[in-house]
């Protein structure tokens, strides 16, 4: 075989590989859309489940997921971004900061069910928050913070040192340089990290399983100390725990969860590409 043939064969092989990467995603999305789209109408989105969840809508699950996302965001954004600023701008390279970085890397690799059990032990039982939106949000936040911290730290470090020097030379304090120049420059990267972190939180079942998710609730949550239904857990329930569940309701619920996650993903991508085009250093 001559070298040109080998090259062509190589192209075919890597082409097939890339097809294999994308095919499952397309198939999953397509099958969910085909089987679930017919279930989705305004009633499905805006009413409570009825007849043992076999009919009616999924409003409490949607609302619950938004509550959890909001609660998680409130906790993980300040902590995650604050930690990133500290690590990138202030922390000296000591054994302590190295340990923090190591912890962040390792936290990102912990299975989500472990976070769920940790949340149960610490927030639900020890701190007596009960199974509640607050306990579930805290658990999701702990899972999300490492993602936000590491992406934000990277974004902050990517801003040229020069800007900090210039800021100092004009009489700015370190914080003024960070606040007025570095953070605005790093913002798109930080926002992307936040959205990607929340994205993972939105789709997780295991961390909320013992900490805040309810099988079925007849009314919407009113305070942060109420338990709540949530899309991923609801999906798990109606696909495994309820016999005789209409298939299109299951797929419809999956489709809503998918749309929520996809739209967050699209927002993150748009923000990133918009700012990347504007950046000139």
Partner 1 sequence: MTKLDVSRLDFYYGSFRALTGVTVGIEERNITSLIGPSGCGKSTFLRCLNRMNDTIKGTRVEGKILLDGEDIYSISSDVVSLRCRVGMVFQRPNPFPQSVFDNVAFGPRVLGQTRGSDLAGRVEESLRGADLWDEVKDRLKQDALSLSLGQQQRLCIARVIAVQPEVILMDEPCSALDPIATLRVEDLMRALREHYTIIIVTHNMQQAARVSDYAGFFWLNDKRSGILAEYGTTRQIFTQPRDKRTEDYITGRFG
Question: Closest Cα partner for 185 from 204, 211, 166?
Answer: 166
Binding residue for partner 1 (CB under 8 A) from 185, 211, 228, 253? 185
- Mask 110-149, x = binds partner 1 (CB under 8 A)? ----------------------------------------
Sole window of 2-10, 15-23, 99-107, 181-189 interacting with partner 1 (rule: CB under 8 A): 181-189
CA atoms within 13 A on the CB side of 228: 31
Nearer to partner 1, 18 or 169 (CB): 169
Asked if residue 168 binds partner 1 (CB under 8 A), the reply is: yes
Asked if residue 166 binds partner 1 (CB under 8 A), the reply is: yes
Binding residue for partner 1 (CB under 8 A) from 2, 18, 169, 223? 169
Surface-to-core class of residue 78, CB atoms within 10 Å of its CB (0-12 exposed, 13-18 middle, 19+ buried): exposed
Please provide residue 120's backbone torsions phi and psi, each rounded to the nearest 5 degrees.
-60, -45
Residue with tokens 């298939």: 247
Question: Closest Cα partner for 71 from 156, 10, 142, 121?
Answer: 142
Asked if residue 50 binds partner 1 (CB under 8 A), the reply is: no
Binding residue for partner 1 (CB under 8 A) from 163, 242, 248, 271? 163
21 token code pair: 């990467």
Task: Give the number of other Cβ atoms within 10 Å of residue 18's Cβ.
Answer: 9
- Mask 63-82, x = binds partner 1 (CB under 8 A)? --------------------
Length of the chain: 281
Asked if residue 181 binds partner 1 (CB under 8 A), the reply is: yes
Nearer to partner 1, 20 or 170 (CB): 170
Sole window of 113-121, 162-170, 238-246, 260-268 interacting with partner 1 (rule: CB under 8 A): 162-170
Conformational region of residue 142, where left means phi above 0, alpha means psi within -120 to 50, and beta covers everything else: alpha
How many residues belong to the site for partner 1 (CB under 8 A)? Answer: 19
Taking the C-alpha atoms of residue 264 and residue 253, their distance in angstroms, rounded to an integer, is 17
Residues near partner 1 (CB under 8 A) are 162-163, 165-173, 176, 180-181, 184-185, 279-281
């Amino acid at each position: 075989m001559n070298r040109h043939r080998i090259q062509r064969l190589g192209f075919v092989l890597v082409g097939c590989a890339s097809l294999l990467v994308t095919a499952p995603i397309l198939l999953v999305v397509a099958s969910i859309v085909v089987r679930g789209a017919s279930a989705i109408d305004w009633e499905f989105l805006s009413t409570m489940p009825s007849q043992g969840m076999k009919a009616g809508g999924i409003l409490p699950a949607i609302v619950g997921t938004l509550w959890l996302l909001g609660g998680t965001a409130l906790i993980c954004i300040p902590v995650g971004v604050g930690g990133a600023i500290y690590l990138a701008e202030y922390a000296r390279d000591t054994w302590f900061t190295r340990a923090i970085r190591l912890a962040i890397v390792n936290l990102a690799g912990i299975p989500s069910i472990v976070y769920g059990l940790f949340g149960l032990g610490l927030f639900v039982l020890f701190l007596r928050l009960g199974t509640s939106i607050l306990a579930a949000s805290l658990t999701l936040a702990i899972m999300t913070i490492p993602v936000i911290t590491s992406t934000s730290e990277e974004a902050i470090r990517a801003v040229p040192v020069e800007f900090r020097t210039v800021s100092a030379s004009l009489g700015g304090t370190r914080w003024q340089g960070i606040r007025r120049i570095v953070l605005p420059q790093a913002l798109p990267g930080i926002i992307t990290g936040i959205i990607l972190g929340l994205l993972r939180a939105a789709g997780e079942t295991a961390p909320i399983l013992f900490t805040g998710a309810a099988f079925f609730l007849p009314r919407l949550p009113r305070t942060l100390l109420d338990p709540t239904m949530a899309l991923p857990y609801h999906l798990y329930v109606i696909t495994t725990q309820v016999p005789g569940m209409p298939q299109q309701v299951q797929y419809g619920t999956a489709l809503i969860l998918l749309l929520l996650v996809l739209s967050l993903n699209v927002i993150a991508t748009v923000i990133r590409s918009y700012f990347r085009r504007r950046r000139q250093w």
